[in-house]
């Protein structure tokens, strides 16, 4: 198949002949490793040729319309599909990509909880503690909701502990299993109401809408929380700089975190935002929006050369990657002057969601359903669904470049897209951050999917249907053995063919090669990742794009 793809290419034929000689001369005890390496490399180069052709091809035409909306999504590959759909809906929308914690490494403490959880990549340590509070409520209402939340949380935790404990779990099934008959029937027939995202922590939808992060400095007697005025300004400046967003602000700037709504899914956290520590990204998006909307922060930014217009409003949003629905938070704070534009934005988001669901329906094998749009949403509440969504299956590339390089190009939901303009990065500190954090995390994700695909028995977790949850630690496949690691087979295979191609990550950076070399030389983790071939590194340049491949030891080759 590879030779057919390159039929008539003398250079490929010569390289193929040389590769066959290497295989023939390999020691007999290498178990075919040499052949596997050659075929793997050829397979990846064939994919890269098609991928680079897509990047070099024609994208969206130049648009001169006033930008009403800038939407910053997580770099997650699932965002690529929705971003493309949203830009296709209206020429007044442009999108960008940034790590889904939006530059705010926080320890988030839900209301009624004594401790929080890190909402940042595992490479970072939370810098700020942010507590959840009640918005728009008086002291009595806040106290009532707090007490209700504490009671519900304790009851839920006690019940969960009883159900999953090593001893009581058996008695639980024997004595109370019959009580779930009605719920089981309702879930099977689709008669029960959709469950809220786990971030709701047992509260009803109305009560949950009243909750939100408080960025005001406070001392609760346990530990301080919130951000000081100096912290807000410094972090806001750093975040906007890292986003390459120092000018040209739109009327609305959306900060779109993401999470996944599923039921009966021990692997649910793997579908949430990795940049937020395996949680949904709503808390980080709301903290970032609150800081960037702060009038005092705006004045401070102006003094540092970042003039955010008074009319610009940052909106925190959450993209449900299972249903492709967007939730906008804190709408009541949007001024009356922006209401009409907000209504238009909602229409665009709904239309983009419809497009994204239609595209994903094909990959889920439900494109022939009577109403695929509705069927995609239904899967999120189906307790028997082993594959409510594909997660990051198919991930194959990481791109750090201006959106103009990828806008209008169909990358099939397979690329991590990080917005980056090296011309705005005088000391290449932003590039250094990208290569030492998002790129490394993307490579981990890629290698997890790669390992779970090529040898699921060792690097994956086997058949999801046979999984038994062990406390809150992990899963067993069947009734014994070791805790399983990696992804279940259903996350990488659709029952007929692989849904994830086992490719090493292709990293494309638009920046001078000298700057990239300097960063590789300074950071051992990055150097080992690239020099030992765990990822493929390419530099992108030129108006009509050209690509250079990193050939190890700080040498580059034109592709």
| pLDDT tens string 142-198 | 677 777 777 777 777 777 777 666 666 666 667 777 777 777 777 777 665 555 554
Q: What integer is the mean pLDDT of 57-85?
A: 84
Residue 399 has pLDDT above 70, yes or no: yes
- With respect to residue 490, please indicate whether it lies within any of the assigned structural domains: yes
User: Are 228 and 262 part of one and the same domain?
Assistant: yes
User: Are 367 and 405 part of one and the same domain?
Assistant: no
The residues pairing with 252 across neighbouring beta strands, listed in sequence order, are: 69, 313
User: Are 449 and 551 part of one and the same domain?
Assistant: yes
- With respect to residue 384, please indicate whether it lies within any of the assigned structural domains: no
**Residue 150 confidence (pLDDT):** 73
User: Are 120 and 262 part of one and the same domain?
Assistant: yes
pLDDT tens column, 3-61: 666 677 888 788 878 877 766 666 655 556 777 888 899 999 999 999 999 999 866 65
Domain residue limits at 456:
395-558
Is the CB of residue 134 less than 8 Å from the CB of residue 146?
A: yes
- With respect to residue 200, please indicate whether it lies within any of the assigned structural domains: yes
Query: Which of 346, 379, 412 corresponds to the end of one domain?
Result: 379
User: Are 237 and 339 part of one and the same domain?
Assistant: yes
Residue 114 has pLDDT above 90, yes or no: no
**Residue 405 confidence (pLDDT):** 95
- With respect to residue 30, please indicate whether it lies within any of the assigned structural domains: no
26: number of Cβ within 10 Å: 16
- With respect to residue 312, please indicate whether it lies within any of the assigned structural domains: yes
Please give the share of the chain, as a percent, with pLDDT higher than 70.
87
User: Are 369 and 237 part of one and the same domain?
Assistant: yes
> Number of structural domains, the chain?
3
Is the CB of residue 125 less than 8 Å from the CB of residue 105?
A: yes
- With respect to residue 32, please indicate whether it lies within any of the assigned structural domains: no
pLDDT band at 206 (very low <50, low <70, confident <90, very high): low
User: Are 91 and 13 part of one and the same domain?
Assistant: no
478: number of Cβ within 10 Å: 11
Residue 207 has pLDDT above 50, yes or no: yes
Taking phi over 0 as left and psi of -120 to 50 as alpha, with beta for the rest, 483 belongs to beta
Longest dimension (CA), the chain: 81
- With respect to residue 388, please indicate whether it lies within any of the assigned structural domains: no
> Which of 124, 127, 106 is CA-nearest to residue 116?
106
Q: Which residue has the higher pLDDT, 370 or 501?
A: 501
Residue 368 has pLDDT above 80, yes or no: no
The CA distance from 445 to 467, in Å, is 22
**Residue 248 confidence (pLDDT):** 92
Q: Which residue has the higher pLDDT, 166 or 310?
A: 310
Return the HEC string of 538-556: EEEECCCCEEEEECCCCCE
**To which H or E segment does residue 188 belong?**
helix 181-189
**Residue 36 confidence (pLDDT):** 82
Q: What integer is the mean pLDDT of 459-468?
A: 93
**Residue 26 confidence (pLDDT):** 62
What is the value of pTM for the model shown? Answer: 0.89
**Residue 198 confidence (pLDDT):** 47
Spatial CB neighbours of 108, under 8 Å, sequence gap ≥ 6: 116, 117, 119, 130, 132, 213, 279, 283
**Residue 20 confidence (pLDDT):** 72
User: Are 245 and 367 part of one and the same domain?
Assistant: yes
User: Are 322 and 435 part of one and the same domain?
Assistant: no
Spatial CB neighbours of 115, under 8 Å, sequence gap ≥ 6: 109
**Residue 393 confidence (pLDDT):** 97
User: Are 17 and 97 part of one and the same domain?
Assistant: no
User: Are 145 and 180 part of one and the same domain?
Assistant: yes
User: Are 467 and 320 part of one and the same domain?
Assistant: no
**Residue 201 confidence (pLDDT):** 53
Q: How far is CA 318 from the centre of its chain?
A: 11
Here the tokens at position 443 are 């490579």
Here the tokens at position 478 are 């069947």
- With respect to residue 450, please indicate whether it lies within any of the assigned structural domains: yes
> Which of 411, 429, 415, 409 is CA-nearest to residue 507?
415
Q: What integer is the mean pLDDT of 452-468?
A: 94
């Amino acid at each position: 198949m590879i030779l057919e793809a390159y039929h008539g290419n003398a250079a490929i034929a010569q390289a193929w002949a040389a590769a066959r000689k290497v295989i023939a001369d390999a020691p007999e005890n290498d178990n075919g490793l040499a052949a596997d390496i050659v075929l793997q490399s050829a397979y990846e180069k064939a994919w890269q040729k098609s991928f680079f052709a897509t990047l070099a091809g024609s994208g969206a035409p130049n648009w001169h319309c006033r930008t009403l909306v800038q939407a910053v999504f997580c770099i997650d590959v699932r965002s690529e599909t929705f971003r493309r759909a949203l830009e296709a809906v209206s020429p007044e929308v442009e999108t960008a990509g940034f790590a889904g914690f939006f530059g705010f490494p926080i320890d988030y403490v839900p209301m009624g909880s004594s401790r929080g959880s890190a909402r940042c990549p595992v490479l970072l340590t939370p810098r700020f503690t942010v507590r959840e509070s009640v918005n728009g409520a008086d002291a009595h209402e806040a106290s009532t909701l707090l007490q209700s939340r504490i009671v519900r949380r304790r009851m839920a935790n006690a019940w969960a502990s009883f159900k999953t404990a090593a001893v009581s779990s058996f008695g639980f099934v024997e004595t109370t299993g019959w009580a779930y008959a009605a719920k089981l029937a309702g879930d099977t027939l689709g008669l029960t109401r959709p469950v809220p995202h786990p971030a709701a922590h047992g509260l009803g939808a109305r009560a949950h809408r009243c909750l939100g992060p408080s960025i005001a400095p406070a001392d609760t007697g346990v530990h301080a929380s919130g951000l000081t005025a100096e912290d807000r300004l410094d972090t806001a400046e750093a975040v906007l700089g890292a986003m390459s967003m120092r000018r040209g602000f739109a009327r609305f700037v959306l900060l779109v975190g993401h999470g996944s709504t599923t039921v009966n899914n021990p692997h649910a956290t793997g579908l949430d935002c990795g940049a937020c520590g395996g949680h949904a990204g709503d808390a980080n998006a709301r903290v970032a929006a609150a800081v960037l909307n702060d009038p005092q922060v705006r004045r401070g930014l102006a003094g540092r050369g970042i003039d955010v217009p008074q009319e610009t409003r940052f909106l925190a949003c959450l993209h449900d990657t299972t249903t492709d629905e967007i939730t906008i938070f804190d709408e009541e704070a949007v001024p009356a002057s922006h209401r009409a534009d907000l209504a238009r934005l909602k229409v665009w988001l709904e239309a983009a969601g419809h497009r994204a669901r239609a595209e994903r329906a094909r990959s889920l094998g439900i494109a022939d359903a009577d109403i695929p749009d509705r069927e995609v949403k239904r899967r999120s509440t189906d307790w028997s669904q082993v594959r409510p969504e594909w997660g990051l299956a198919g991930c194959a590339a990481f791109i750090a470049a201006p959106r103009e390089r990828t806008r209008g190009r169909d990358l099939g939901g397979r690329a991590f897209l990080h917005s980056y303009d090296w011309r705005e990065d005088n000391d290449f500190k932003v590039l250094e951050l990208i290569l030492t954090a998002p790129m490394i995390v993307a490579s981990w994700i890629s290698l997890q999917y790669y390992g779970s695909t090529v040898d699921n028995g060792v690097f994956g977790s086997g058949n999801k249907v046979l999984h038994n949850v062990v406390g809150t630690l992990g899963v067993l496949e069947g009734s014994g053995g070791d805790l399983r690691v990696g992804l279940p087979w259903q996350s990488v295979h659709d029952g007929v063919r692989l849904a994830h191609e086992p490719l090493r990550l292709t990293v494309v950076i638009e920046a001078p090669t000298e700057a990239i070399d300097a960063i590789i030389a300074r950071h051992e983790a990055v150097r080992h990742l690239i020099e030992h071939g765990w990822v493929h590194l390419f530099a992108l340049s030129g108006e009509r794009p050209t690509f250079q491949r990193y050939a190890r030891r700080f040498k580059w080759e034109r592709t």
